[in-house]
A = this chain, B = another copy of it.
Amino acid sequence: MILTVTLNTALDLTYRVPALVPHRSHRVSEVRERPGGKGINVARVLSSLGHESVVTGFAGGPTGAVLRELLAPLGPRDALVPIAGTTRRTLAVVDDASGDTTQLNEPGPTVTPEEWAAFLGTYGSLLREGAEAVALCGSLPPGVQVGGYAELVRRARAAAVPVLLDTSGEPLRRAIAARPDLVKPNAEELAQLTGSREPVRAAHDARRRGAHAVVASLGPEGLLAVTAEGVWQAVPPEPVRGNPTGAGDSAVAGLLSGLVERLPWPRRLARAVALSAATVAAPAAGEYDRGLYEELLPRIAVTERPAAA
């Protein structure tokens, strides 16, 4: 089983409108609701790839109840911890004309120290239950200390469970020092962490800060992996238009499934890039187009690069 952690879950809404025009009134032609948050997206993709997955994190209030109801019939097992606060919504407004998306993200509810303690209990049990790997995904909700992810990385390492970290800012800076197996920043997050906008240099720097391996997502330029085994870049054959929500999460699922399956790095990266592109092309936020994934997978160009920083 692969465990994913989403401390800031969300009820994801997608609205279709002919075109979003600020300061006008719009009739929404279609509404979709789905259980959201980065770790939940990762777990759903893992399920679709044939991996047993379990989601934990927090859910509460009426939106939390809807999230859990929508999650129940899907692949991942629900091990979310209840909270008194109300789970946030995230809204993607899709323009019919351009296919482009406007995103509006509510702030998360505040987590109390007692709720955090309850979560640590659940997290520990799931690690000991035989997790093959764990992904820590997304932002920290209000109330969770900035070192929260560092604590979760340490506990995973103590349980000998490989840990992937996908977050940003100070929580990333703190947690990377706790020596996660893999971090997956985007170019902006990597630059913020290291001060360098040159991705290979910055990824080497991130390794020196404690990450065993670094996979940086570079948008249309694919993924750059800086690892103990070598440095690779994997690029999609053509740019894909659509809704980028969840593309990074699909990449995480690709990397994590490849880690558990002990695939060599080039195959992990090709899978991650193909899943990511197939997610951008899918109409609903966070879903992926399986046909396109299978079509793209053999066409991802993975090149080895010189290992020197």
Which A residues lie at the B interface, using CB under 8 A?
Answer: 15, 17, 20-29, 31, 62-63, 65-66, 88, 91, 93, 95, 98, 100-107
Contact = CB atoms under 8 A, between A and B. Distances in A.
B22 A102 contact: yes
A232 to B, nearest CB: 29
Given A29-B107, A107-B29, A20 B17 contact: no
Given A62-B65, A91-B91, A100 B28 contact: no
A20 B23 CA distance: 9
A59 to B, nearest CB: 13
A23 B103 CA distance: 7
A33 B15 CA distance: 18
Contact of A31 (B31, B62, B100, B107): B107
B15 A106 contact: yes
A20 B102 contact: yes
A283 to B, nearest CB: 16
A27 B66 contact: no
Report copies per complex.
Answer: 2
Q: Which of A22, A26, A66, A95 has the most CB of B within 10 A?
A: A22
A26 B95 contact: no
A25 B103 contact: yes
Contacts of A15: 104, 106
26 contacts: A15-B106, A17-B104, A20-B22, A20-B102, A21-B22, A21-B102, A22-B22, A22-B95, A22-B100, A23-B98, A23-B100, A23-B101, A23-B102, A24-B103, A25-B103, A26-B102, A26-B104, A28-B104, A28-B106, A29-B107, A31-B88, A31-B106, A62-B62, A62-B63, A62-B65, A62-B66
Contacts of A102: 20-26
5 closest A-B pairs by beta carbon, nearest first, are A25-B103, A23-B100, A20-B22, A28-B106, A62-B66
A28 B93 contact: no
Contacts of A21: 22, 102
A27 B105 contact: yes
A228 B282 CA distance: 59
A93 B103 CA distance: 12
Nearest to A98: B23
A28 B65 contact: no
A26 B17 CA distance: 18
